[in-house]
């Protein structure tokens, strides 16, 4: 019975996501009617079209895992990751495609296993927790290392240019990858910190697409920023005082 309710919640979140994206696409269509030169809807671009269902499913995924008891959202997360991986392959962004196929999908499978277990840690497995200080420092170090590593790889293996060429988009793209890596990883263990990394992901995405002038993606990532903020606030409120981890240090 409990699992049935969880699946129903996923279904409701899919409905909410479809309505939200329907309204978003409707507004963009209206904007194109008023300003034909805006070119917001790119239906002739296969990668862009694949990104639409990926985004719809992705929002349903985030809305569902906003509840730290609901593991069903990760099934949607796997489908989202497959679609985003295909989208990035079509866009020849091979670093991002590798990340979704070889990292995110295994992470989400691990999350299904961990979150669906009925009893763990003395029955407190559903409780979100902040990282301790040591793991926070390690997490920040990984964020920096992966961002720099992606920057170097994109420079020499994909774009074949200099380290100082296209610095802003390469830094933002690296942050996009490193933050989403950490966000997905810490979700496995129900760490409230995961939503901090989802916010970094959203903000860096907004910055990247402002830089490249992709209006649709700016709107989309602003949308993600709102949804991720809502989910993050819900987890912070659900985090008990004894589970505040590194946050306790700030309160001393």
Per residue in 177-208, pLDDT (tens digit) is: 999 999 999 999 999 999 999 999 999 989 98
Q: What is the pTM of this model?
A: 0.86
Percent of the chain with pLDDT over 70: 95
| Closest residue by Cα to residue 127 from 61, 194, 71, 190 | 190
| Closest residue by Cα to residue 84 from 112, 109, 52 | 52
Rg (CA), the chain: 19
Indicate if the pLDDT at residue 13 is higher than 90. yes
Query: What is the pLDDT of the chain when averaged over all its residues?
Result: 88
Q: Kindly state the average pLDDT of the residues 77-82.
A: 94
The pLDDT assigned to 252 comes to: 61
Query: pLDDT (tens digit, 9 = 90+) per residue, 136-161?
Result: 999 999 999 999 999 998 888 877 88
- CA 93 to CA 162: how far, in whole Å? 18
Dump strand ranges (E) for the chain.
Answer: none
């Amino acid at each position: 019975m409990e699992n049935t309710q969880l699946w129903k919640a996923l279904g409701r979140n899919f409905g909410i996501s479809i309505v939200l994206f329907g309204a978003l696409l409707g507004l963009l269509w209206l904007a194109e009617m008023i300003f034909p030169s805006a070119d917001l809807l790119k239906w002739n671009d296969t990668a862009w079209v694949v990104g639409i269902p990926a985004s719809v499913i992705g929002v349903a995924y985030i809305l569902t895992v906003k509840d730290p008891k609901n593991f069903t959202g990760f099934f949607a997360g796997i489908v989202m990751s497959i679609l985003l991986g295909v989208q990035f392959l079509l866009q020849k962004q091979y670093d991002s495609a590798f990340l979704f196929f070889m990292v995110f999908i295994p992470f989400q499978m691990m999350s299904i296993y961990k979150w669906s277990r009925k009893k763990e840690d003395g029955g407190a497995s559903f409780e979100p927790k902040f990282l301790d200080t040591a793991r926070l420092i390690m997490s920040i170090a990984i964020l920096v290392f992966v961002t720099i590593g992606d920057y170097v790889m994109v420079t020499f293996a994909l774009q074949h240019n200099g380290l100082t060429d296209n610095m802003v988009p390469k830094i933002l793209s690296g942050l996009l990858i490193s933050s989403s890596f950490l966000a997905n990883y810490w979700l496995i263990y129900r760490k409230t910190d995961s939503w901090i990394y989802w916010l970094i992901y959203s903000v860096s995405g907004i910055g990247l697409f402002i830089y490249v002038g992709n209006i649709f993606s700016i709107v989309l990532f602003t949308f993600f920023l709102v949804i991720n903020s809502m989910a993050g606030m819900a987890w912070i409120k659900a985090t008990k005082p004894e589970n505040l981890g590194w946050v306790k240090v700030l309160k001393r």
